[in-house]
Amino acid sequence: MTRFTLGRWARRAVWGALVALMCIGCNPLQIAAFMFAREDKRPAPYPLAFEKDGPKKDKDEVVVLLLTHQTASTGTTFVTADRELADRLARVLPEMAKENKDKRKVRVISSTQFDKFKMAHPRWRDLSASEIGQKLGADFVLDIFLDKMRLYQPNSANTIYEGRAEVQVAIHEVSATGGELKDSYPITFSYPRGGVSTRDASSVSEGEFKKLFLDNMATEIARMHCDHKPSSGIAEGR
């Protein structure tokens, strides 16, 4: 069969499918939208972007410092959750920016570099987020506070997973002379997502559910700062 013949049969198949769909009552415009649909990017509500006329307008890299904290009331289950969330977000933010083909690369200051800074500055907690960011060469600091975290549905005797957390994020923009609070926002985070609010605890171990919980939280925070496709990041677990 020649290439011309193959092309002709392919065109016939497409038009045949169109005719079939029209015969069962579909709107031709809806059919065209379905056939040629593409995933449009969703704009980030709080992009990590420089002022167009600012001193950093020509930088090809955005350097981000993550500061994560949690209340003592989160209990032993989440004793390292702030560190774990920072590690996941440090991976997801650059990946999402790259997937989005941003003009500027996003680089997150590593936890190792931050740990060295803390050892060299024993009173680092007395510094503001902007001051810490300035000393580490960050352009933006995401100061993330975790509260009211849980993995199980209340009164379920730990037999039903229902992940919840209250997250508060403050965005500090760092300059050569200091920094300022640029914006802040809350997230009432829940997992599982997608209309499924709970999950049988026998279906997966607590450790694996906690990992999915924090992975999805990191993705949701990253989406607040990077333009993204609806399907970007990890799948929303069930």
What is the number of alpha carbons within 13 Å of residue 137 lying toward its C-beta?
9
- Residue 236 forms part of a structural domain: no
Is residue 229 in a domain? no
The percentage of the chain sitting over the pLDDT mark of 70, rounded to a whole number, equals: 78
Q: Would residue 36 be called left, alpha or beta, if left means φ above 0 and alpha means ψ between -120 and 50 degrees?
A: alpha
Residue-wise pLDDT tens digits, 1-45? 544 444 455 455 544 554 444 444 545 555 444 444 455 778 999
pLDDT value at position 21? Answer: 44
Q: Is residue 237 part of a domain?
A: no
Q: Is the pLDDT of residue 234 over 70?
A: no
Q: Is the predicted pLDDT of residue 58 greater than 60, yes or no?
A: yes
Same domain, 98 and 196: yes
CA-closest candidate to residue 106, choices 85, 91, 117: 91
Which segment of 12-16, 176-180, 213-217, 228-232 scores lowest on mean pLDDT? Answer: 12-16
Say if residue 147 is in the same domain as residue 51. yes
Report which listed range, 47-51, 76-80, 81-85, 173-177, is most confident.
Answer: 81-85
The first and second tokens of residue 163, run together, are 């992940």
CA 119 to chain centre: 29
Spell 70-97 as b/e; 16+ CB within 10 A means b: beeebeeebeebbebbbbbbbebbbebb
Residues 66 and 148 reside in one and the same domain: yes
Is 210 within the bounds of a domain? yes
Sign of CA dihedral 53, 55, 61, 64: negative
pLDDT at 159 over 60: yes
Which of the pair, 34 or 134, is modelled with greater confidence? 134
Region of 191 (left: φ > 0; alpha: ψ -120 to 50; beta: rest) is beta
Shared domain check, 131 and 216: yes
**72 and 108 assigned to the same domain:** yes
Segment among 36-40, 117-121, 171-175, 184-188 with least mean pLDDT:
36-40
Q: In total, how many domains does the chain have?
A: 2
Q: Give a yes or no: residue 48 inside a domain.
A: yes
Whether residue 24 lies inside any domain: the answer is: yes
- Integer CA distances (angstroms), 150 to 82, 147, 172, 184, 228, in order: 14, 9, 28, 23, 28
C-beta pairs of 113-122 under 8 Å, 24+ apart in sequence: 114/65
Task: Check whether residue 19 and residue 116 sit in a common domain.
Answer: no
88 and 27 inside one domain: no
Residue 114 domain boundaries: 39-223
What's the gap between Cα 158 and its chain centre? 28
Length of the chain: 238
- Top mean pLDDT of 6-20, 79-93, 184-198, 223-237 is at 79-93
Judged against a pLDDT cut of 80, whether residue 133 lies above it is answered with: yes
CATH number of the domain residue 145 falls in: 3.40.50
Clarify whether residues 74 and 132 are in a common domain.
Answer: yes
Q: Are residues 125 and 10 in the same domain?
A: no
Assess if residue 235 is contained within a domain.
Answer: no
Q: For residue 66, is it within any domain? A: yes
161 and 214 assigned to the same domain: yes
| pLDDT of the residue at 100 | 76
Task: Say yes or no: 18 and 92 in one domain.
Answer: no
Q: Do both 6 and 49 map to the same domain?
A: no
Inter-axis angle of helices 3-23 and 28-35, nearest 10: 130
Do the Cβ atoms of 136 and 116 come closer than 8 Å? Answer: no
β partners of residue 172: 141, 181
pLDDT confidence tier of residue 181, bands split at 50, 70 and 90: very high
